[in-house]
Structure 1
Amino acid sequence: MTTAHDYSYGIDPEHALKYAIQHHSGGRTEIVEGVISTMAPSWDHENAAEEIRDQITPRVKELGCVTGSGNLDFPKSSNWYVPDLAVAPKELARGGGALLPDQTLLIVEVTSESNAETDRVVQRKRYAEYGAPLYLLVDRMDKTVTLFAGPGRLGYTEVDGPHPFGTPVRLPEPFGIDLDTSGL
């Protein structure tokens, strides 16, 4: 008799689920706490991410990094995220696979009505737990921007914000730039 946790066939459920997500044909798909969702961002959502990307690109290039919305894996969990924007070292981005949150320099999530609470609470907790050094939350519902830093197992230890749209937000080193949030 086989139990639900019998891996005698050599199939690891976490690996199988993440493999299926990576190899399906379709849009941006992620797994948040075991729930699979396909994302279709609106144009105003994409605009907010693009506003951030445009401002950080010169510094990202100086740092030898790239921006994108590539896959982020959370080993030993049922999480596989596709951030709205992430900054990673170019040499790591060339590997072809998913990155780990601690391999990024910055992760940006832009809320939508359907996922605002996930971005605010669940993803923020997981990004901190897996060592993402900076997490920028662009909350379009509240019209605020919050920067989280100092990741740890219990969450981020430093919080800058929430700042209303229009307030400059300082991205610390290695960026060392002020973001203009008026166009978000």
Structure 2
Amino acid sequence: MEGVILFADDHVFDSGRSENKLFQKFNLNENFSVLPINNLNTLEKTVTSISTFKALILDWNFKRKMDDAEDGIELPDENPYEFLKNKKIYSLVYVYSQNEVAQAIKDELNRLYSGKIFFKRKENAEDESAEYDKILGGINDFEDKNKHLTVPFVWSQTINQSAQTIFSELEQADPNWIREIYNTAQKDG
């Protein structure tokens, strides 16, 4: 497997936590790049910016920061349900969580993601090697069963690279190229 994996868990940066150890284990694998994400807001921005990634390893519960609360009120945890409902993700979504996800939510997300979403519990979180093997095995198994996904990923990468090339060339030709296009469009009506 090659490509990018998004690792979204509110404890991904917490040294000593099993989530951080698991992220570090994924990060040592040279076949892919792993981007750590510790909140749902950053996850949404990342998915919008990076259109091509192999898999999203996603915790279900995200603690809200205390500075989000006013007057010492404790805020409830967040979950990625609305994010998953509203985003159209073509990649594998691997929900990996301590908490069980309600069956009605699983059913709805399975309908939306049709074979591209899996729900696994953090069964043995303290044994990051076993959890790593379990998750990586699931990702590899998904890829083996969905080889047809390779073509859209290659297309997406090619489109992204072409856009970078086009924008770089336009910028080199004229730093005000966007204004020029706008003015031309205004004149053309």
Higher radius of gyration, 1 or 2: 2
TM-score under structure 1 normalisation? Answer: 0.38
Higher RCO by CA contacts (8 Å cutoff, separation 6 or greater): 2
Normalized per residue, which structure has more helix? 2
TM-score under structure 2 normalisation? Answer: 0.37
Normalized per residue, which structure has more strand? 1
